[in-house]
Amino acid sequence: MLYRSRAVLAALWGGLLLCIAFVAAPSAFAVLERSQAGLLVGRLFALEAYISLAAGLLLMMMERRLGRDGGGPVFSVAMLLPAGALFCTVAGYFGLQPLMAAARAGQGGWSFMTLHALSFGFYGAKTLLVLVLAWRASKESGQSQS
């Protein structure tokens, strides 16, 4: 049951990340004026960041439980994937967002575009980590059923 729950949670998290990146954000900029689209997408990324914190922590707890029950190591690749995604969330959203707001106001040493590119990189890395986690979890979930 825990294997299946882990696979479903990881898949839902990955789907959310892909949906925001490839559907919601581009659609907002396609139909709204730039400032309004930026506000909407900013709100979406704020919600996604908190959802990512919750999903990442839940998946790390699941991995720890599965590792402990299976007699395996506490820190495995399966544990590093959600931990890496959590790092990308904290650094990419909570770390860079205040700097981006300052850059928009003309303060700080880095330009908004530089910070945006860094944030984009963290989001992309997080998405890849979560998709690999979902793939591995679904594979393991299928093996545990046999």
Which residues have C-beta within 8 Å of that of residue 71, sequence separation ≥ 6?
A: none
Domain count, the chain: 1
pTM of the model: 0.91
CB 89 within 8 A of CB 56: yes
Domain extent for 52: 2-145
Computed over every residue of the chain, the mean pLDDT equals 93
pLDDT reported for residue 146: 52
CB 6 within 8 A of CB 59: yes
Q: For 104-137, what is each residue's pLDDT tens digit?
A: 898 988 999 999 999 999 999 999 999 999 999 9
Q: For 42-67, what is each residue's pLDDT tens digit?
A: 999 999 999 999 999 999 999 988 88
